[in-house]
Amino acid sequence: MSSTSTGRRAEYAEQTREAIITAARELFTERGYFATTVNQIAERARVAPATVYAVTGGKHGLIATLVDRWSTAPIVAERGALITASRDPHEALRLTAEAVRDMRIAYGDIMQTARSVAPHDKAVAESLQTATTRYRASLNSVADHLNNLNALGVDLKTAQDILWFHFGYTGFATLVTETNWTYEQATTWLTTQTAQALNLHKPRELHPG
């Protein structure tokens, strides 16, 4: 078999996998995880139901893949690097709020699906726990950075909890989904409230001598 044929097969296999994942994501959002069947996913992806199982492991495999994609999205590392490069604590906090906002815009549907299913499904709960650990670690690194800048008016553990309270699963969801704020309004308000709760201040400059 030629390398061209092998390459085309691999490309087709990846396209098929992506079509199944996209179909599952759409249907989980539209109908709910439990109300969605593998047959429905297969029909939307234009493949056989057996292909869904073979390629993605069925519904459990699909939601695990979606949760992993959300929690390991490149934006996490990219924005994290920008945040830790900032020497201005207020700018670092603003960048954090914007990163969380953009993650919610891109992956909020997956977050909602996983959180609604987790209490009723052990496998999904495990996937969500892994994602939550990664999520909290990212916010904890922001607290560490602010602490290293000597910009916190609270202890480190309290700062971590405050960041999770405002920028965890519920902050943007409550303001945007439940109260119909715009993302811009929510980002501004959450940033201001978090800065106040952290008693955030610019670090004192050290003068030589």
Name the residue ranges covered by the structural domains of the chain: 3-56, 69-198
What is the rounded CA–CA span in Å between residue 104 and residue 125?
19
Cβ atoms of 42 and 36 closer than 8 Å: no
Question: What's the pLDDT score for residue 9?
Answer: 79
Radius of gyration of the chain (CA): 21
Q: How confident is the model at residue 11 (pLDDT cuts 50, 70, 90)?
A: confident
What is the rounded CA–CA span in Å between residue 89 and residue 84?
10
Residues with Cβ within 8 Å of 108's Cβ and at least 6 positions away in sequence, in order, are 172, 173, 177
Spell out where 4-124 has E strands.
Answer: none
Helices (runs of H) and strands (runs of E) counted in the chain: 10, 0
Chain-centre distance for alpha carbon 1: 41
Q: How confident is the model at residue 104 (pLDDT cuts 50, 70, 90)?
A: very high
Q: Give tens-digit pLDDT for 187-202.
A: 999 999 999 999 998 7
pTM of the model: 0.88
| CATH code, residues 3-56 | 1.10.10.60
Question: What's the pLDDT score for residue 204?
Answer: 57
